[in-house]
Amino acid sequence: MMDKQKITILGINGHIGHAAAEAFVAAGWQVTGFGRRNKKPIEGAAFVKGDARQQGDIEAAIASADVVFNGLNLPYDQWDKGRAEAQLAIVLAALENSGKTLLFPGNIYNYAASDRVLTPEMAQHPETPRGAIRVRQEQMLARAAEAGDVQVIILRAGDFYGPNNQGDWFDQAMMMSVGKGRIHHMAGLDVGHSWAYLPDLGAAFVKLAERRQSLKSFDRFHFSGHYVTHGALMAAIQTSSTQPLRVVPMPWIMLRLMGIGMPVIREVVKMRYLWDNPMRLEDKRLGDILGPDFGTELGAAVRASVVQYFANTAKAA
């Protein structure tokens, strides 16, 4: 019997880290999670307690891994002053000369509001400080791959949503007034937006990891996910809901006022352009790897997310 392939998930408690861990367990990998504490245990996954600020802790956690998934992220208002780059530098130092494969989840911050169809080959022109940080991080990854320290595979995706996923735009913004019978659309109802259903995104990372030997030392992919108008998403939520829901605009003015005293909200409002502009992720090469039958249909994905949202809300009541 062949030995299982091994992966360490740095930041297993995070949204994408947790989803990736579940996907790799389901695919038969030997999975080890890394974090300060095991907040959301996954059956079939081991856990190593550690501090992501300590290179030695990361080195110990990834020692036997074939692949490392970087799901580490700082609070939204703490990316600046070089802190996001410093966090990534610790991971890269731990991987130095290892020859391991590093999976890195990217986002669309790297691009400008005027960019419409985002492909892996197109030039990146960020228009916010947060986008510039993400570009610098990917440049760090490219240099590490060029030096031969590590193979880097970046998979870029839109906004996350999925069952039991809490703390993202889907539940904290669009669904925040469900108790009052309302859901919020983030921008014009006819404007498209890129979404990533987390179980599908996790499965896409598995596919790339399993094909890593045929990929370049530094490779970028774009996960198309569900590109859908705000209006169509609102309709899918209404169809999935067990109660009537009225569609209303997101109160951006209220958020802007809240941001005066709340740094996280202030930073969130600065990224509003991502909602007002239709930025679609496309990647034929990834599509060929995943195959025509890959992924969950939008209605089923939204239904699973909404049903679980209501179940969690009822449990918390």
Specify the residue for token string 């802007």. Answer: 256
| Token code pair at residue 130 | 């947060």
Which pLDDT score is estimated for 264? 85
Q: Which residues are within 8 A (CB) of 310 and not within 5 positions of it... i.e. 6 or more apart?
A: 178, 241, 242
| Token code pair at residue 52 | 């992501």
| Token code pair at residue 7 | 């992966």
Q: State pLDDT tens for residues 106-159.
A: 999 999 999 999 999 999 999 999 999 999 999 999 999 999 989 999 999 999
Measured CA to CA in angstroms, residue 33 lies from 59, 61, 75, 98, 203 at distances of 13, 8, 20, 19, 17
Which pLDDT score is estimated for 2? 59
Specify the residue for token string 């990217």. Answer: 106
Crossing angle for the helix pair 83-95 and 55-62, to the nearest 10 degrees: 50
Give Rg (Cα) of the chain: 19
- Cβ-contact 162, 213 below 8 angstroms: no
**Helical residues (DSSP H) of 64-103, grouped into ranges:** 83-95
Which pLDDT score is estimated for 1? 44
- For the chain, residues with pLDDT lower than 50 are 1
| Token code pair at residue 17 | 């880290």
The pTM of this model reads 0.96
Measured between its terminal Cα atoms, the distance across the chain in Å is 49
Please tell me whether residue 304 adopts helix, strand or coil conformation.
helix
